[in-house]
């Protein structure tokens, strides 16, 4: 974890801090960001997502604070024949999924 990420750590849990550091070591992200759930954080992340085109603002007169988000077609299975559900029993996958 970077110096900044470690200093911004909002938890006193050593186990959590070590787990996040291990995940960061394995995945090598550009940054690690600890979320606090504040209104300021929500606004900042929303503005960042709108600015990058991830979120598209809807008509704020009709739908205040509503946004459109489309997943990337490469990120998700779009048809049942390529969707697999891992469950202990076949019945848990449901009738429209492969087990």
Structure confidence by residue, pLDDT tens digits, 55-91: 999 999 999 999 999 877 777 666 666 677 788 888 8
**Do 18 and 47 fall into the same domain?**
no
**What range does the domain containing 63 cover?**
38-68
**Do 30 and 43 fall into the same domain?**
no
**Which DSSP symbol is given to 84?**
B
Please count the structural domains in the chain: 3
* pLDDT above 80 for 29: yes
> Which of residues 84 and 4 earns the better pLDDT score?
84
Instruction: Evaluate the CA torsion angle 23, 47, 50, 78 in order and state its sign.
Output: positive
Residues contacting 54, CB < 8 A, separation 6+: 69
CB atoms within 10 A of CB 44: 11
**Do 64 and 78 fall into the same domain?**
no
pTM of the model: 0.58
**Do 60 and 80 fall into the same domain?**
no
């Amino acid at each position: 974890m970077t110096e900044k990420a470690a200093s911004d750590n909002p938890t006193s849990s050593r186990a959590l801090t070590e787990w996040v550091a291990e995940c960061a070591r394995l995945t090598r992200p550009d940054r690690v960001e600890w979320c606090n759930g504040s209104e300021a954080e929500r606004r900042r992340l929303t503005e960042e997502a709108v600015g990058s085109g991830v979120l598209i603002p809807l008509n704020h007169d009709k739908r205040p604070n509503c946004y459109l988000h489309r997943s990337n077609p490469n990120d998700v299975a779009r048809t049942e024949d390529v969707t697999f559900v891992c469950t202990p029993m076949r019945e848990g996958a449901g009738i429209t999924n492969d087990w």
